[in-house]
Amino acid sequence: MLITGESGTGKELVARAIHRVGANPAGPFVAVNCAALVDTLLESDMFGHEKGAFTGATERHAGKFALANHGTIFLRRGERAVAGGAGQAAARAAGREFVPLGGKTAATTNARVIAATNVDLLERVKAGAFREDLYYRLQVVTIHLPPLRERRDDIPDLVQALLTRINREMRRGVTRLHREALECFQAYDWPGNVRELENVLMRSAALSSSDAITCDMLPAHLCAHPRRASVAPDPAASDPAAQHSLRAIEKAHVMRVLEATGWHRGQTCDILGVSRPRLRRMIRLFGLVAPPEAPADDSDAEESSAA
Protein backbone atom coordinates (compact mmCIF):
# COMPACT_ATOMS: atom_id res chain seq x y z
CA MET A 1 0.00 0.00 0.00
CA LEU A 2 1.23 3.50 -0.84
CA ILE A 3 0.25 6.78 0.82
CA THR A 4 1.29 9.97 -0.98
CA GLY A 5 1.06 13.64 -0.07
CA GLU A 6 3.07 16.65 0.97
CA SER A 7 5.04 16.63 4.18
CA GLY A 8 2.81 17.11 7.20
CA THR A 9 -0.48 15.99 5.62
CA GLY A 10 -0.91 13.17 8.14
CA LYS A 11 0.31 10.12 6.25
CA GLU A 12 1.29 8.27 9.41
CA LEU A 13 -2.08 9.04 11.00
CA VAL A 14 -3.77 7.43 8.00
CA ALA A 15 -1.45 4.44 8.22
CA ARG A 16 -2.28 3.98 11.90
CA ALA A 17 -6.00 4.30 11.14
CA ILE A 18 -5.68 1.58 8.48
CA HIS A 19 -3.88 -0.59 11.02
CA ARG A 20 -6.63 -0.09 13.61
CA VAL A 21 -9.39 -1.20 11.24
CA GLY A 22 -7.36 -4.07 9.77
CA ALA A 23 -7.56 -7.77 10.52
CA ASN A 24 -4.99 -7.53 13.35
CA PRO A 25 -5.58 -4.21 15.16
CA ALA A 26 -3.98 -5.63 18.32
CA GLY A 27 -0.83 -6.50 16.40
CA PRO A 28 2.31 -4.32 16.38
CA PHE A 29 2.64 -1.11 14.36
CA VAL A 30 6.31 -0.60 13.51
CA ALA A 31 7.24 2.77 11.97
CA VAL A 32 10.57 3.01 10.14
CA ASN A 33 12.14 6.27 8.98
CA CYS A 34 13.83 5.15 5.77
CA ALA A 35 15.72 8.44 5.50
CA ALA A 36 17.60 7.58 8.69
CA LEU A 37 18.71 4.12 7.55
CA VAL A 38 22.38 3.51 6.79
CA ASP A 39 22.86 1.23 3.77
CA THR A 40 25.60 -0.78 5.48
CA LEU A 41 23.31 -1.55 8.43
CA LEU A 42 20.03 -1.75 6.55
CA GLU A 43 19.98 -5.54 6.17
CA SER A 44 20.50 -5.97 9.89
CA ASP A 45 17.98 -3.28 10.86
CA MET A 46 15.23 -4.52 8.61
CA PHE A 47 15.73 -8.29 8.60
CA GLY A 48 17.78 -8.95 11.70
CA HIS A 49 20.98 -10.96 12.05
CA GLU A 50 22.26 -14.13 13.62
CA LYS A 51 24.93 -14.26 16.30
CA GLY A 52 28.36 -13.98 14.68
CA ALA A 53 27.02 -12.71 11.36
CA PHE A 54 29.55 -9.85 11.47
CA THR A 55 32.04 -8.28 13.84
CA GLY A 56 30.18 -7.08 16.91
CA ALA A 57 27.16 -9.35 16.39
CA THR A 58 27.38 -10.93 19.82
CA GLU A 59 23.77 -12.09 19.91
CA ARG A 60 20.80 -12.74 17.66
CA HIS A 61 18.85 -9.63 16.65
CA ALA A 62 15.28 -9.52 15.33
CA GLY A 63 14.73 -7.04 12.51
CA LYS A 64 11.86 -4.67 11.91
CA PHE A 65 9.93 -7.08 9.69
CA ALA A 66 10.07 -9.81 12.31
CA LEU A 67 8.88 -7.35 14.94
CA ALA A 68 5.98 -6.31 12.70
CA ASN A 69 4.73 -9.86 12.14
CA HIS A 70 0.92 -10.10 12.57
CA GLY A 71 0.78 -6.29 12.35
CA THR A 72 1.85 -3.40 10.13
CA ILE A 73 5.21 -2.00 9.11
CA PHE A 74 5.10 1.63 8.02
CA LEU A 75 7.95 2.91 5.85
CA ARG A 76 8.27 6.68 6.20
CA ARG A 77 10.05 8.39 3.31
CA GLY A 78 9.45 5.34 1.13
CA GLU A 79 11.28 7.04 -1.75
CA ARG A 80 14.48 6.25 0.18
CA ALA A 81 14.06 2.63 -0.95
CA VAL A 82 16.11 3.06 -4.12
CA ALA A 83 18.57 0.95 -6.07
CA GLY A 84 21.11 -0.84 -3.90
CA GLY A 85 20.68 -2.24 -0.40
CA ALA A 86 17.55 -0.29 0.47
CA GLY A 87 15.82 -1.25 -2.76
CA GLN A 88 16.70 -4.92 -2.34
CA ALA A 89 15.43 -4.86 1.24
CA ALA A 90 12.14 -3.19 0.38
CA ALA A 91 11.56 -5.46 -2.62
CA ARG A 92 12.16 -8.56 -0.55
CA ALA A 93 9.95 -7.22 2.22
CA ALA A 94 7.13 -6.61 -0.22
CA GLY A 95 7.48 -10.26 -1.17
CA ARG A 96 6.97 -11.17 2.52
CA GLU A 97 10.04 -13.43 2.61
CA PHE A 98 13.50 -12.60 3.92
CA VAL A 99 16.68 -14.17 5.26
CA PRO A 100 18.26 -12.65 8.37
CA LEU A 101 21.86 -11.59 7.91
CA GLY A 102 24.04 -14.63 8.54
CA GLY A 103 21.02 -16.94 8.48
CA LYS A 104 20.60 -20.04 6.34
CA THR A 105 16.85 -20.37 6.07
CA ALA A 106 14.19 -17.95 4.85
CA ALA A 107 11.70 -16.42 7.24
CA THR A 108 8.30 -15.03 6.35
CA THR A 109 6.15 -12.22 7.66
CA ASN A 110 2.47 -11.49 7.25
CA ALA A 111 2.95 -7.84 8.19
CA ARG A 112 1.03 -5.35 6.10
CA VAL A 113 3.53 -3.10 4.29
CA ILE A 114 2.56 0.56 4.00
CA ALA A 115 4.97 3.05 2.43
CA ALA A 116 4.60 6.83 2.49
CA THR A 117 6.25 9.43 0.30
CA ASN A 118 6.00 13.13 -0.53
CA VAL A 119 7.47 12.77 -4.03
CA ASP A 120 6.09 11.51 -7.34
CA LEU A 121 7.37 7.93 -7.41
CA LEU A 122 6.24 7.36 -10.99
CA GLU A 123 8.48 10.23 -12.10
CA ARG A 124 11.29 8.68 -10.08
CA VAL A 125 10.71 5.37 -11.85
CA LYS A 126 10.87 7.07 -15.26
CA ALA A 127 14.10 8.77 -14.24
CA GLY A 128 15.59 5.46 -13.13
CA ALA A 129 15.81 6.64 -9.52
CA PHE A 130 13.29 4.17 -8.05
CA ARG A 131 12.86 0.44 -8.60
CA GLU A 132 10.00 -0.21 -11.01
CA ASP A 133 9.18 -3.61 -9.53
CA LEU A 134 8.95 -2.13 -6.05
CA TYR A 135 6.73 0.70 -7.27
CA TYR A 136 4.19 -1.72 -8.74
CA ARG A 137 4.25 -3.84 -5.59
CA LEU A 138 3.48 -0.84 -3.40
CA GLN A 139 0.93 1.03 -5.52
CA VAL A 140 -1.65 -1.77 -5.64
CA VAL A 141 -3.66 0.48 -3.32
CA THR A 142 -2.72 4.19 -3.34
CA ILE A 143 -4.14 6.86 -1.04
CA HIS A 144 -3.34 10.48 -1.87
CA LEU A 145 -3.69 13.12 0.86
CA PRO A 146 -4.29 16.62 -0.56
CA PRO A 147 -2.57 19.56 1.15
CA LEU A 148 -4.51 21.48 3.78
CA ARG A 149 -4.81 24.56 1.53
CA GLU A 150 -6.96 22.45 -0.82
CA ARG A 151 -9.34 21.30 1.92
CA ARG A 152 -9.97 24.41 3.99
CA ASP A 153 -13.49 23.24 4.85
CA ASP A 154 -11.89 20.47 6.93
CA ILE A 155 -10.05 22.95 9.17
CA PRO A 156 -12.83 23.41 11.80
CA ASP A 157 -13.17 19.64 12.24
CA LEU A 158 -9.39 19.17 12.34
CA VAL A 159 -9.09 21.92 14.95
CA GLN A 160 -11.65 20.22 17.20
CA ALA A 161 -10.01 16.80 16.82
CA LEU A 162 -6.53 18.17 17.48
CA LEU A 163 -7.66 20.29 20.44
CA THR A 164 -9.24 17.23 22.02
CA ARG A 165 -5.89 15.43 21.91
CA ILE A 166 -3.90 18.51 22.94
CA ASN A 167 -6.17 19.13 25.95
CA ARG A 168 -5.75 15.54 27.02
CA GLU A 169 -1.97 15.54 26.67
CA MET A 170 -1.36 19.04 28.06
CA ARG A 171 -4.19 18.98 30.61
CA ARG A 172 -5.73 22.13 29.18
CA GLY A 173 -9.35 23.18 28.65
CA VAL A 174 -9.18 25.06 25.34
CA THR A 175 -12.20 24.04 23.28
CA ARG A 176 -12.74 26.66 20.58
CA LEU A 177 -11.40 29.41 18.33
CA HIS A 178 -12.70 32.95 18.23
CA ARG A 179 -14.28 33.81 14.88
CA GLU A 180 -11.39 36.07 13.86
CA ALA A 181 -8.85 33.35 14.67
CA LEU A 182 -10.80 30.79 12.63
CA GLU A 183 -10.88 33.22 9.69
CA CYS A 184 -7.08 33.50 9.90
CA PHE A 185 -6.80 29.72 9.95
CA GLN A 186 -8.99 29.31 6.88
CA ALA A 187 -7.22 32.05 4.92
CA TYR A 188 -3.67 30.83 5.65
CA ASP A 189 -2.02 28.45 3.15
CA TRP A 190 -0.49 26.09 5.77
CA PRO A 191 2.75 25.09 3.97
CA GLY A 192 3.42 22.68 6.83
CA ASN A 193 -0.10 21.21 6.52
CA VAL A 194 -1.68 19.37 9.48
CA ARG A 195 1.64 19.17 11.33
CA GLU A 196 1.94 22.96 11.29
CA LEU A 197 -1.71 23.33 12.32
CA GLU A 198 -1.13 21.06 15.31
CA ASN A 199 1.99 22.98 16.36
CA VAL A 200 0.13 26.31 16.20
CA LEU A 201 -2.73 24.90 18.28
CA MET A 202 -0.33 23.50 20.89
CA ARG A 203 1.43 26.86 21.22
CA SER A 204 -1.86 28.77 21.41
CA ALA A 205 -3.37 26.36 23.94
CA ALA A 206 -0.33 26.84 26.16
CA LEU A 207 -0.76 30.63 26.01
CA SER A 208 -4.53 30.72 26.49
CA SER A 209 -5.90 31.60 29.93
CA SER A 210 -9.49 30.81 28.91
CA ASP A 211 -11.33 28.18 26.89
CA ALA A 212 -10.74 30.00 23.58
CA ILE A 213 -7.87 30.84 21.22
CA THR A 214 -7.78 34.45 20.04
CA CYS A 215 -5.81 36.19 17.29
CA ASP A 216 -3.29 37.69 19.70
CA MET A 217 -2.11 34.16 20.58
CA LEU A 218 -1.31 33.27 16.96
CA PRO A 219 2.06 33.71 15.21
CA ALA A 220 2.21 37.09 13.46
CA HIS A 221 2.74 35.59 10.00
CA LEU A 222 -0.42 33.52 10.26
CA CYS A 223 -2.72 36.55 10.29
CA ALA A 224 -0.56 38.77 8.07
CA HIS A 225 -2.43 38.02 4.84
CA PRO A 226 -5.61 39.13 3.06
CA ARG A 227 -8.75 37.21 3.86
CA ARG A 228 -10.02 35.00 1.09
CA ALA A 229 -13.44 35.08 -0.49
CA SER A 230 -14.09 31.58 0.86
CA VAL A 231 -14.10 32.95 4.40
CA ALA A 232 -17.56 33.87 5.65
CA PRO A 233 -18.04 37.67 5.51
CA ASP A 234 -18.25 39.66 8.73
CA PRO A 235 -21.94 40.53 9.31
CA ALA A 236 -20.83 43.93 10.60
CA ALA A 237 -19.46 44.77 7.14
CA SER A 238 -23.02 45.14 5.83
CA ASP A 239 -24.17 47.17 8.84
CA PRO A 240 -24.21 50.94 8.07
CA ALA A 241 -23.23 51.68 11.68
CA ALA A 242 -20.00 49.75 11.13
CA GLN A 243 -18.94 52.32 8.54
CA HIS A 244 -18.90 55.14 11.11
CA SER A 245 -15.98 56.26 13.26
CA LEU A 246 -15.95 55.48 16.97
CA ARG A 247 -16.40 59.22 17.70
CA ALA A 248 -19.51 59.40 15.49
CA ILE A 249 -21.04 56.35 17.14
CA GLU A 250 -20.28 57.71 20.62
CA LYS A 251 -21.82 61.10 19.73
CA ALA A 252 -25.00 59.48 18.43
CA HIS A 253 -25.32 57.33 21.55
CA VAL A 254 -24.85 60.25 23.96
CA MET A 255 -27.42 62.26 22.01
CA ARG A 256 -29.94 59.39 22.11
CA VAL A 257 -29.59 59.06 25.90
CA LEU A 258 -29.91 62.80 26.45
CA GLU A 259 -33.07 62.91 24.35
CA ALA A 260 -34.50 59.86 26.12
CA THR A 261 -34.01 61.52 29.53
CA GLY A 262 -35.21 64.93 28.35
CA TRP A 263 -31.69 66.26 28.84
CA HIS A 264 -31.70 65.38 32.52
CA ARG A 265 -27.96 65.35 33.21
CA GLY A 266 -28.12 63.23 36.36
CA GLN A 267 -30.12 60.42 34.71
CA THR A 268 -27.92 60.60 31.61
CA CYS A 269 -24.77 60.19 33.69
CA ASP A 270 -26.29 57.17 35.46
CA ILE A 271 -27.17 55.49 32.16
CA LEU A 272 -23.83 56.26 30.48
CA GLY A 273 -21.84 55.47 33.60
CA VAL A 274 -19.89 58.73 33.49
CA SER A 275 -19.39 61.67 35.84
CA ARG A 276 -21.00 65.11 35.42
CA PRO A 277 -17.68 66.71 34.34
CA ARG A 278 -17.16 63.92 31.78
CA LEU A 279 -20.69 64.45 30.39
CA ARG A 280 -20.11 68.21 30.11
CA ARG A 281 -16.85 67.58 28.20
CA MET A 282 -18.62 65.22 25.80
CA ILE A 283 -21.42 67.73 25.16
CA ARG A 284 -18.86 70.42 24.34
CA LEU A 285 -16.69 68.02 22.29
CA PHE A 286 -19.63 66.81 20.18
CA GLY A 287 -21.18 70.30 19.88
CA LEU A 288 -24.51 69.17 21.32
CA VAL A 289 -27.10 71.89 21.96
CA ALA A 290 -29.85 71.46 24.51
CA PRO A 291 -33.39 72.35 23.42
CA PRO A 292 -35.01 75.42 25.03
CA GLU A 293 -37.28 73.30 27.21
CA ALA A 294 -34.39 71.29 28.65
CA PRO A 295 -33.74 71.72 32.41
CA ALA A 296 -30.79 73.88 33.27
CA ASP A 297 -27.54 72.24 34.27
CA ASP A 298 -26.88 73.06 37.93
CA SER A 299 -23.17 73.12 37.31
CA ASP A 300 -23.66 75.69 34.52
CA ALA A 301 -25.57 77.91 36.89
CA GLU A 302 -22.84 77.56 39.50
CA GLU A 303 -20.18 78.47 36.92
CA SER A 304 -22.24 81.56 35.85
CA SER A 305 -22.65 82.81 39.43
CA ALA A 306 -18.98 82.20 40.14
CA ALA A 307 -18.07 84.30 37.12
pLDDT in tens, 88-137: 455 555 556 778 888 888 888 888 889 888 888 888 888 887 778 778 87
Judge contact between 88 and 128, C-beta under 8 A.
no
Domains, the chain, ordered by start: 2-145 (3.40.50.300), 152-232 (1.10.8.60), 240-295 (1.10.10)
DSSP annotation string for 32-68: EEGGG--HHHHHHHHH-B-TTSSTT--S-B--HHHHT
Query: HSE on the CB side for 174, CA within 13 Å?
Result: 26
Judge contact between 6 and 118, C-beta under 8 A.
yes
d(CA 197, CA 123): 30
Write the pLDDT tens digit of every residue in 187-237: 999 999 999 999 999 988 888 888 889 888 888 888 876 544 334 444 444
Is pTM beyond 0.85? Reply is: no
